[in-house]
Amino acid sequence: MPVLRLRRLKRDSAARDWSNRTTLLSKDLIMPYFVVSGKDVKRPIKSMPGISHLSIDRLVRDISQTRERGIKAILLFGIPEVKDRLGSGAYKKQGIVQRAVKAVKKNFKDIIAITDVCLCGYTSHGHCCIIGENPRPETRDPKYSIDYKSTLKVLGKIALSHADAGADLVAPSAMMDGQVGAIRDTLDKKGFKEAGILAYSAKYASNLYFPFREAMASGPQFGDRKAYQMDYRDSDEALREIGQDIDEGADVVMVKPALSYLDIIYRAKEKFNIPLAAYNVSGEYSMVKAYVKSIGYRAKGIETERNIVLEILTSIKRAGADFIISYYAKEAAGWLN
Ligand code: PBG
Ligand code: ZN
């Protein structure tokens, strides 16, 4: 297109709306929720203004608003009442996530319920795995190792309990090698061939998870997660991880976090012909909230929270994400209407 005409298109806002190539829709967004036991509980999470722990009754009420704004899918995280060394609260039939999924699907047949499958929220040590006895370097603490065999078995068990409660997709986030295959196997064997897998495939050992860990009380009590999450200096490895998860049966793959990893999203979309999700993580959410607060009333012009957030979410879609998990999902869907 000649530059002159392009310039005219840029000046005219109707023409801009018509000619732009990326349109963010409410249905692209997935809203995460932190569920706790109890009744009528709405407990704000300190580092995430606007996000709260919700009891199941409150969760159902909140989802009805989210749904009204055109959001089709939610992601559930449960906070158990007790944690132990083996994370046994994660696969209880009457566990918090299991009860929450059941309530969600009972109230909203058309809402896609996705459940996080991991151990860190349920183990007393806060790692995403079962800790073995032998001193090996995987947790980056010389005293502890990852017991892969038990971990994969338990992850399968958790996924099964979620599917049994009605989850449409399970989302394994432990970054344990072979987790997608192990879960697919368990689900198929137990008659849940229809349950899908959204794999946290390329998950980086990011410094932007703090608010989430505060919300879940899931920070590792020793070592860190660098042995199983990816190093941010690497990108080819992300593509290998995604390819492997696809081979193991993932239906949707994910890149996480989103904003510092738009290149990974772009490369993944170019390389793989499969639905791609991006996780706009807790720290990214809190950064925007802090930014909005810091510019405050002085920014009455275009730099409103709405415009900032829509720019960010649209950029993630432009990079190649089909689905965006964001704590802003509900608010943004309201702005999109
Ligand atoms: C771990 C998990 C993490 C998040 C979701 N599941 C990261 C971590 O604690 O290492 C982060 C989500 C967020 O920050 O919003 N299984
Ligand atoms: Zn975890």
Question: Tens digit of pLDDT for each residue in 271-310?
Answer: 999 999 999 999 999 999 999 999 987 777 778 999 999 9
Q: Is residue 12 included in any domain, yes or no? A: no
Q: Looking at ligand 1, which residue's alpha carbon is closest to its atom 6?
A: 173
User: In this predicted structure, what is the pLDDT of residue 18?
Assistant: 85
- pLDDT(252) > 60: yes
Dihedrals phi, psi of 279, to nearest 5 degrees: -105, 110
User: In this predicted structure, what is the pLDDT of residue 142?
Assistant: 52
More confident residue, 11 or 252: 252
- pLDDT(10) > 80: no
- pLDDT(188) > 70: yes
Q: What DSSP designation does 230 have?
A: B
Domain limits at 195? 23-336
Answer whether 114's CB lies under 8 Å from 169's CB: yes
Residue range 13-27: mean pLDDT, rounded:
89
- pLDDT(137) > 80: no
280 lines ligand 1 (CB under 6 A): no
- pLDDT(8) > 80: no
- Kindly state the tokens that stand for 103: 């309530």
Q: Is residue 8 included in any domain, yes or no? A: no
Whole-structure pTM value: 0.95
Q: Is residue 5 included in any domain, yes or no? A: no
> Using 50, 70 and 90 to split pLDDT, how confident is the model at 14?
confident
Answer whether 113's CB lies under 8 Å from 166's CB: yes
C-beta neighbour count of 44 within 10 angstroms:
11
Q: Which of 203, 289, 317, 330 is catalytic?
A: 203
Q: What DSSP designation does 193 have?
A: T
258 lines ligand 1 (CB under 6 A): no
How many independent structural domains does the chain possess?
1
Q: Is residue 275 included in any domain, yes or no? A: yes
CA dihedral for 89, 92, 96, 101, sign (positive or negative): positive
Answer whether 31's CB lies under 8 Å from 330's CB: yes
176 lines ligand 1 (CB under 6 A): no
* Ligand 1 centre distance from Cα of residue 15 (Å): 41
- List the one residue out of 328, 221, 324, 246 whose CA is nearest residue 279: 324
Bridge partners, residue 323, by sequence: 277
**How many percent of the chain have pLDDT more than 70?**
94
User: In this predicted structure, what is the pLDDT of residue 245?
Assistant: 98
| CATH number where 149 lies | 3.20.20.70
C-beta neighbour count of 272 within 10 angstroms:
18
Active site residue 72: no
Write out pLDDT tens, residues 95-118: 999 999 999 999 999 999 999 999
* Ligand 2 centre distance from Cα of residue 120 (Å): 4
Q: Is residue 13 included in any domain, yes or no? A: no
Q: Is residue 3 included in any domain, yes or no? A: no
**Between β-strands 29-36 and 52-55, what pairing exists: parallel, antiparallel or unpaired?**
parallel
User: Rounded distance, CA 307 to CA 328, Å?
Assistant: 12
Q: Is residue 306 included in any domain, yes or no? A: yes
Ligand 1 atom nearest 216 alpha carbon: 9
Apex 91 CA angle, 327 and 107, nearest 5: 55
Q: Is residue 242 included in any domain, yes or no? A: yes
Least-confidence region, from 12-21, 24-33, 102-111, 314-323: 12-21
* Ligand 1 centre distance from Cα of residue 121 (Å): 10
